[in-house]
Amino acid sequence: MDGEIYQILDFQHVKPGKGGAFVRTRLKKVKSGNVFEKTFRSGEKFDPCFLEKRPFQFLFRIGTDLTLMDLESYEQVSVPSEDIGDSAKFLKDECEVQALTADGNVLGYECPNFMELAITEAEPGVKGNSASGGVMKGAVVETGAAVQVPMHIEEGDVVRIDTRNGAYIERVSKG
């Protein structure tokens, strides 16, 4: 639509009592990730776009750039971390990333939704704070990203983090 590629996140077909039917949608611009709502008249048509996912492997960071290797051609590419988004700060070596491509052009990248990462730094838990439940403290994971974890988490523990929002999910193993 308008020379851009969009992903339909949600749609609702509406048939009002008077007038023609229409479709209310929530669209996401694939390149920028912007989400917005748009209404279309019933019968409006668009060219289909076929997205292909290609596997890449995260190799290492140089400053704010990430070096990825195409697992099909073994070609290495340098990608600014902004192109991957906030989840880039949770990537560790040899992690697989999916590149979204259309007509041979990379439109964006998808990181795994969950990562298991070791805690390298954790604020000490203050005795008595955990009784009320839900109390969080700051910590740093092995990739250098800052996260909020429960008071019982210590350095060396391995935790599962949701890379989409940086939220602590659970402790996987004790350090």
Q: What does the pLDDT look like over 87-122, one tens digit per residue?
A: 899 999 999 999 988 877 787 888 999 999 999 999
**pLDDT tens-digit readout, 25-52:** 998 887 777 889 999 988 888 888 888 8
Task: Using CB atoms within 10 Å of the CB of residue 17, give its burial: 0 to 12 exposed, 13 to 18 middle, 19+ buried.
Answer: exposed
As to burial, measured by CB atoms within 10 angstroms (0-12 exposed, 13-18 middle, 19+ buried), residue 117 is buried
Name the pLDDT band for 128 (thresholds 50, 70, 90).
Answer: low
* 101 and 119, same domain (yes or no): no
Q: For residue 1, tell me if it sits in a domain.
A: no
Tens of pLDDT, residue by residue over 46-69, are 888 888 899 999 999 998 899 999
Token look-up 């992903």 returns 7
Residue 47 in any domain: the answer is: no
Structural domain contains residue 12: yes
CATH number, domain with residue 69: 2.40.50.140
Range(s) of the domain holding residue 19: 6-41
